[in-house]
Each structure stands twice: as structure tokens, then as C-alpha cells.
């Protein structure tokens, strides 16, 4: 675990694996994985995705949770390119109640902290669909620069839409302590979700997951 | 024109070059090209040491991946009009749902740089991507140090859409990674581009 101001980063296992079955079919997931075709994700595909990320030597799937232990979503770095020390970063706010909260922002900041202060990256890349203002706001608060627009790059619900490209360099990152102090992160005060049933009680877990 | 099997059957015929299958003549040259100066430009500043074994297993791996790939690729060899293999062209990461693909190419033989060979091949491939594959957007990636490609993109009508600051290292200096895009309704067609770029006279001069 790596402890942050409003959220902690944790290994992606147990309840996270169960939650991911619904998170991977949420709008937030498809928006974050805009390069991929939109299709329903079955339980089996979700399992395979987790396995793939466990074996991935150029990336990782990491859980992030509120200070009360409530799982919020996942942060992902991928395509880490060792020669130039850069990677793509993604935040998926699986529990949609946290969309736009400072917990979600802290998830991104913790991922950046990990990329720059632990993995020694030189640069990170992030993307957003052109109408995803919640993401723009999050990237801007985290200090990203908007570097360009890939025109009509994605088919999205009947339209060809632009993708906005963002970048943040190591020497633009003030450090986790400094940036969180400057931003004055405030907890949202959301109630934690009810605890999932034990994993072996499969039906019970599913009912809870659907809420 | 008659072509024997080892001179490469042209799928797409240009003025200075033809695009053919990436056959064993190209495979033979890949080792030289991948360890030479073209790879430095193509890989945005990387210099790698490829053994023949490594290249063979990479080819086999790519072929296997392509078998069950949802975003397949098309690879061409580039040869001159006298059937000399000089490089390769790839239409990769074809996304059927988005109708996009990324272009990748190099001229492996430096003496053919700057002579219009790459541009002739590019015009053929853009037409092919729009007219045969029915794509509607092409994009490509290079580094800001690559002045030759930046000029070519400008001439051929691609738009610089993104500039990732300090995203690659070439010979000890950080350069931007630049991304270019071309939409189908911006493309006047190969014939118009040949006129605009004055490639006909150049082809005549090369022949003479």
C-alpha cells in the first residue's frame, strides 16, 4: 500500500476483482480506454484483463480506495518505454459517485507520484475525449499541458470525435507533498459502499455488486 | 511489363517506385536496414543491435499475432522501377470501427533519400488506404528532429496535430514526438498530388 492524502494505492485483488466486473462496463471505463472497441465485457474477459496486467512488464493495474477503505476505482500506467522513461497514465473512477471529487484527483496525483518519484519516469501521457470536461479539469489541476488534438480519431455514438492529448514532464511535477498542499484537497465525505459478501459466496457477491 | 517471381510483383505502381509483397529479397535486406541509419530515424532516435535470429523471431511473432488480430496491418516492400528493393511501407493498427490506420515507412538505402522515392510511395499508400481499405483517417508519428519527414508531411498535406514535448531522446538530446493526421476529405487524390509536387518531370529525369 502507498498512502496518500485522500486515497491509498493498493494491490488490485479481492473485492477489486469483483467490482471490476461492473466497472469495466461503465461509461467511465470506455471513456478511459477510448482506443478500444466498445463491447460488453464478460466475467471471463475481466479475469483475462487482470491476468494480462499482472504479467505486463510495461505497466500495472492498481486499486485506489478512500481512507475508510471504500474501493473507488483503478489507476493504470501502461506502455512504459524504458529508453525514454515515459508511460501512458489512466484513472478509472469505477464508483461513479466519486466522479469529479478530490478523491478521484488524488488517485491521479498518487499515480503521478508513483511514476515520477518511484519509477523515475521522465514524462507521462494522458488522453481524453474532446467533450470529457471532468478529465480536462482533473489533468489541468494535476499540472498537465494540453499538447494537441487528434482530429476525428474515434467513432463515438454516431460521430467521429477528436481526442485531446496531454503531457506532463518530470521537471514540471512539483512533488506530491507540494501539489497536494497547493490544491488543498477536500474529502467528499461519501459513505462507503456496503461490504461485499465473501468471494466464495458468488451469488451474494453479485447481488451486492449490482447495488 | 513482365515480372519474374523474384523481381516482386507490383501491387501498386508509382512513377519512381512500385509497392510489392515484402518477399524474401526484402527479408534478406532487413538485417542491414534495421541496423543502419534508417532505423535511427524510423525508431525516433533508437539504435538497436538486431541479430538475424532476433529479426526472424520478431517476424514470426508478428505473423502469429496477425492471425487473430482485431487491428491488422498491411506490409509492402518498396522497390525502384528496376526492381531494386529500397525500403518498406506499413499500414498498421487498422481500426475498422474508427476507419483509421497508422502509417510507418522507411527507405533503408540512404542513397535514395531526398529523391522523391518515399513521397511517391506515400502517395500510392494514401490512395490505397482510402480507395481500397475505405479508411477515412490516416495518422503517423515521427520526432521533431526528422526535418525531412516534417517537410514531406507539409508538402503532402498532413496536419501536425500533436506535439509531445521532450518525448524521445536522439543522440543525447530530447526532441518532441510529433503526430500528423490526414482526413479523407482533405485528400485531392494521387493524380492531383503528382501534379502539385511536380513528380512527373522528376520521374522523367530519373529514367533519362
Complex-level ipTM: 0.91
- Return the C-alpha cell found at B118: 518515399
Using the Cα atoms of residue A185, residue A190, residue A194 and residue A199 in order, give the sign of their dihedral.
negative
Residues 6+ apart with CB under 8 A from B150: B142, B144, B178
* pLDDT beyond 60 at B21: yes
Identify the helix (H) or strand (E) that includes residue A105.
Answer: helix A102-113
Q: Options 3.40.630.30, 3.40.47.10, 3.90.1150.10, 3.30.1700.10; which CATH number does B5-207 get? A: 3.40.630.30
Give the confidence band of B207 by pLDDT, cuts at 50, 70, 90. Answer: low
Question: CA–CA separation, A72 vs B173, rounded Å?
Answer: 40
Is 3.40.640.10 the CATH classification of the domain at A2-183? no
Q: Can you give the pLDDT at residue A205?
A: 47
- Residue A96 CA to residue B119 CA, distance in Å, equals 49
Under the banding of pLDDT at 50, 70 and 90, the label for residue B6 is low
Counting DSSP H helices and E strands in chain B, the numbers are: 7, 8
The pLDDT assigned to A211 comes to: 41
pLDDT at B3 over 50: no
Tens of pLDDT, residues B26-83: 999 999 999 999 999 999 999 999 999 999 999 888 888 877 766 689 999 999 999 9
Pair A84, A71: CB distance under 8 Å: no
Among chain A residues, CA nearest to B175 = A84
Contact B137 A147 (CB under 8 A): no
A148 close contact with B: CB closer than 8 A = yes
Q: What is the pLDDT of residue A198?
A: 65
Q: What is the mean pLDDT of chain B?
A: 92
Question: Which residues, 6 or more positions from B11, have their beta carbon under 8 angstroms from its beta carbon?
Answer: B18, B19, B20, B21, B76
Per-residue pLDDT of chain A (211 residues; tens, 9 = 90+): 999 999 999 999 989 999 999 999 999 999 999 988 899 999 999 999 999 999 999 999 999 999 999 999 999 999 999 999 999 999 999 999 999 999 999 999 999 999 999 999 999 999 999 999 999 999 999 999 999 999 999 999 999 999 999 999 999 999 999 999 999 999 999 999 998 876 555 554 445 444 4
User: Residue B84: how many CA atoms within 13 Å on its side-chain side?
Assistant: 10
Helix (H) or strand (E) holding A154: strand A145-156
Q: Which residues of chain B lie closer than 8 angstroms to A125, CB-CB?
A: 164, 167
A vs B, Cβ pairs < 8 A, gives: 63
* B96-155 pLDDT tens trace: 999 999 999 999 999 999 999 999 999 999 999 999 999 999 999 999 999 999 999 999
Report whether B24 contacts B18 (CB < 8 A).
Answer: no
3-state secondary structure of B143: strand
According to the model, what pLDDT value does residue B9 have? Answer: 85
Backbone angles phi, psi at B45, to 5 degrees: 100, -5
Is the CB of residue B1 less than 8 Å away from at least one CB of chain A? no
Average pLDDT estimate for B1-13:
69
Closest CA to A14 of A203, A199, A200, A209: A199
Contact status, residue A7 vs residue A176, Cβ threshold 8 Å? no
Query: How many Cβ atoms are within 10 Å of A111's Cβ, its own excluded?
Result: 26
Q: List the one residue out of A83, A80, A92 whose CA is nearest residue A119.
A: A80
Using a CB–CB cutoff of 8 Å, tell me whether B100 touches chain A.
yes
Chain B residues in contact with A145 (beta carbon < 8 A): 165
Q: Residue A71: enclosing H or E segment and its boundaries? A: strand A71-81
CA–CA distance, B8 with A151 (Å, rounded to integer): 37
Amino acid at each position: 500500500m502507498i498512502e496518500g492524502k485522500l486515497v491509498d494505492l493498493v494491490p488490485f485483488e479481492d473485492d477489486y476483482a469483483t467490482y471490476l466486473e461492473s466497472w469495466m462496463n461503465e461509461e467511465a471505463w470506455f471513456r478511459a480506454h477510448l482506443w478500444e472497441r466498445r463491447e460488453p465485457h464478460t466475467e471471463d474477459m475481466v479475469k483475462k484483463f487482470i491476468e494480462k496486467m499482472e504479467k505486463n512488464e510495461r505497466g500495472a493495474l492498481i486499486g485506489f480506495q478512500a481512507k475508510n477503505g471504500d474501493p473507488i476505482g483503478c489507476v493504470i500506467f501502461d506502455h512504459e518505454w524504458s529508453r525514454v522513461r515515459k508511460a501512458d497514465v489512466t484513472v478509472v473512477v469505477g464508483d461513479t459517485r466519486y466522479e469529479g471529487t478530490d478523491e478521484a484527483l488524488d488517485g491521479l496525483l498518487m499515480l503521478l507520484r508513483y511514476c515520477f518519484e518511484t519509477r523515475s519516469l521522465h514524462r507521462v501521457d494522458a488522453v481524453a475525449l474532446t467533450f470529457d470536461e471532468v478529465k480536462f479539469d482533473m489533468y489541468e489541476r494535476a499540472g498537465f499541458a494540453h499538447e494537441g488534438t487528434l482530429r476525428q480519431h474515434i467513432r463515438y455514438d454516431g460521430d467521429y470525435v477528436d481526442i485531446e492529448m496531454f503531457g506532463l514532464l518530470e521537471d514540471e511535477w512539483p512533488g506530491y507533498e507540494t501539489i497536494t498542499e497547493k490544491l488543498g484537497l477536500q474529502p467528499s465525505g461519501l459513505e462507503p459502499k456496503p461490504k461485499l459478501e465473501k468471494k466464495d459466496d458468488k451469488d451474494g457477491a453479485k447481488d451486492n455488486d449490482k447495488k | 511489363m513482365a515480372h519474374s517471381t523474384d523481381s516482386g510483383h507490383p501491387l501498386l505502381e508509382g512513377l519512381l517506385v512500385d509497392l510489392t509483397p515484402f518477399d524474401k529479397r526484402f527479408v534478406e535486406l532487413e538485417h542491414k536496414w534495421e541496423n543502419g541509419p534508417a532505423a535511427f530515424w524510423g525508431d525516433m532516435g533508437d539504435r538497436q543491435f538486431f541479430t538475424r535470429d532476433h529479426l526472424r523471431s520478431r517476424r514470426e511473432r508478428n505473423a502469429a499475432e496477425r492471425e487473430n488480430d482485431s487491428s491488422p496491418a498491411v506490409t509492402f516492400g518498396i522497390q525502384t522501377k528496376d526492381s531494386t528493393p529500397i525500403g518498406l511501407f506499413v499500414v498498421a493498427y487498422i481500426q475498422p470501427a474508427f476507419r483509421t490506420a497508422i502509417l510507418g515507412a522507411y527507405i533503408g538505402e540512404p542513397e535514395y533519400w531526398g529523391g522523391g522515392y518515399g513521397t511517391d510511395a506515400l502517395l500510392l499508400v494514401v490512395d490505397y488506404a482510402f480507395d481500397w481499405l475505405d479508411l477515412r483517417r490516416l495518422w503517423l508519428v515521427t520526432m521533431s528532429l526528422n526535418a525531412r519527414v516534417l517537410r514531406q508531411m507539409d508538402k503532402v498535406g498532413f496536419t501536425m496535430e500533436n506535439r509531445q514535448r521532450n518525448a524521445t531522446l536522439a543522440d543525447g538530446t530530447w526532441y518532441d514526438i510529433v503526430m500528423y493526421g490526414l482526413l479523407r476529405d482533405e485528400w485531392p487524390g494521387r493524380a492531383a498530388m503528382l501534379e502539385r509536387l511536380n513528380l512527373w518531370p522528376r520521374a522523367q529525369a530519373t529514367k533519362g
